[in-house]
Structure formats: structure tokens, C-alpha cells
Amino acid sequence: MGGLDKGLQPLDGRPLVLHVIERLAPQAGRVLISANRNLEAYAALGHAVLPDPPGLEFAGPLAGMLAGLRAIPDDAWLLTAPCDSPRLPPDLAPRLLAAAQPHGLAFARATREHPTHALLHARLREPLAAHLQGGGRAVLRWMTSQPHGIARFDAAGDEAAFANLNHLADLHG
């Protein structure tokens, strides 16, 4: 989006991230926002804001996931979704949980994999930290290197629930 902070760009008069929060909040115990800039603007949305861990600033989605894993209790799960997917399924969390429970990790798949739409158990903190410290950044590569499940979203139209709005024109179309 031309260097703009994607999550704060308006969609239907509200920041894009707020649409995602509204979809996830009913499915989660609490909401955490991963952000590395405009922290005050994100905090004004009423949820805790987590920057990337020191030394991993702007290292991509896995760094945000690690920050989230470090912010939850040892026996908890972290539900993740990118700020540019405002039409998430209302049953994303329970479907991910069903796929993740035997493994500690699951991600969504419609017509393709959506690894940033995931559920991770806190016990993955250390394996993820080690991966990042070793220079790993590819989300799907790390997730598939771990025991994992896949929550399938195969119904007609499910892929649209995971559509990313990556361009300013997408917000007005």
C-alpha cells in the first residue's frame, strides 16, 4: 500500500484492523495487536499492542507470532490473522482448534494454504524463537516443519473469507 500502515487504512469508514478485530474478538479470550509502528493509534483501539521481539523487528509475521506466544500463559493458544483479511469466518477458531489439538498448531486451507490464519500453542515459543534466530522467515515452511493440522475451508466461497486487501484500490472496490 505504498508504504502506508495497512491496518490503519479505512475500509467502510473504519480502520482495516478493526474489521479483523470484530471478527476475531468473539472467538478469542482477548485480543492482542502485533504492530511495529503507529503504536499509539493501534493502542487507541483498546487492545494490547505487541511490537516484534528485540532483534527481530520487522522480521515478518513469525516475529509477531512469537511476540504473541510470549504474551500468553504456558497452557494457552494464540489465534492469528493478518490485518488485511476483514472477512474472516465466524468459526475460524473452533475449526483451527479441532485441527490443532493433537499437534499444537494448525493453519487454514481453502483453495490454498493460509498460514497466517493459524492457531498455535504456547509450547511452540522456543521452536519458533530458534527458527527466527537462525534466520528463518517463511511462515508456511516453519509451520509445516512442525507437527501440524490443517483446518479445511472447502465450501464454495470460503476462499473469499481469506482474501487479502493488499492495495488501496481493494479498499474502495
Predicted confidence (pLDDT) per residue in 114-135, tens digit: 999 999 999 999 999 999 999 9
Residue 87: per-residue pLDDT: 95
**Average pLDDT of span 121-150:** 98
DSSP at 112: S
Beta-carbon contacts of residue 44 (< 8 Å; ≥ 6 apart) = none
Pair 78, 151: CB distance under 8 Å: no
> How is residue 19 written as a grid cell?
474489521
Phi, psi of 22 (to 5 degrees): -65, -30
HEC string for 5-40: CHHHCEECCEEHHHHHHHHHHHHCCCCEEECCCCHH
DSSP at 146: S
Phi, psi of 144 (to 5 degrees): -75, -10
Residue 172: per-residue pLDDT: 72
What span, in angstroms and rounded, lies between the C-alpha atoms of 60 and 82? 11
Residue 3: per-residue pLDDT: 81
Residue 55: per-residue pLDDT: 96
pTM of the predicted model over 0.85: yes
pLDDT higher than threshold 60 for residue 1: no
Dump pLDDT digits (tens) for 57-85: 999 999 999 999 999 999 999 999 999 99
